[in-house]
Amino acid sequence: MQPSTPIVSLQRDTRAWQVQVWISFGLAVFLCATGLGWLPGQALDRAFMVMGYVFCLSAAFVLAKFVRDNQRGALPGAGDTPMWKLVVWGGFFTAMGLTGWGLLRMEISETYKAFLGVSWLFLISSAFTLAKTLRDRHEADIAEARLQGRREARAEAERGE
């Protein structure tokens, strides 16, 4: 008599969700690029805002990875150092703060500021969602590969008996 095989269920995002996440991220990038591309004012202000948006986007992905890694409950002695935690959180808040400050101090219409602000927040929000979706897919792929390896090992062991 063979022992019963436990039923394993892998949680995966639907294809529709994945498409929606990528469309949202692409739309956010497009809106930000359009707003920054047509930004009135001095070239230095435009350069500052582009750098700020790129810094925020990068910091959002780093923060998403950091938080997710630390949610896993690292083994004792493993994991991130307190200094790295400071760098990650400090980088994110610095990027957001400097970009917000730059946007507020710019001498452009309030409507244009509102467009840039909303598109910027949409970019950051969609970056976090994209990072989570990509990480979830990666973890499901790893779990599926491990499960397949166990099945193959079990089948090989049964043939060897």
Residues in CB range of 119: below 8 A, 6 or more apart:
28, 31, 32, 35
Q: DSSP letters of 32-61? A: HHHHHHT--S-HHHHHHHHHHHHHHHHHHH
Share of the chain above pLDDT 70, in %: 89
pLDDT at residue number 51: 96
Q: What are the phi and psi torsion angles at 14 (to 5°)?
A: -70, 160
pLDDT at residue number 4: 57
Higher local confidence (pLDDT), 37 or 158: 37
Tokens of 67: 């938080």
Domain extent listing, the chain: 16-150
Give mean pLDDT, residues 96-121: 95
pLDDT at residue number 7: 67
As a whole number, the mean pLDDT across the chain is: 89
pLDDT at residue number 69: 85
Q: Are 27 and 123 in contact (CB under 8 A)?
A: no
pLDDT at residue number 60: 97
pLDDT tens per residue, range 47-102: 999 999 999 999 999 999 999 888 766 556 566 888 999 999 999 999 999 999 99
Calpha distance 126→134 (Å, rounded): 12
Tokens of 17: 């969700």
pLDDT at residue number 84: 93
pLDDT at residue number 155: 86
Region of residue 35 (left: phi > 0; alpha: psi -120 to 50; beta: else): alpha
pLDDT at residue number 6: 62
Residue type, 161: E
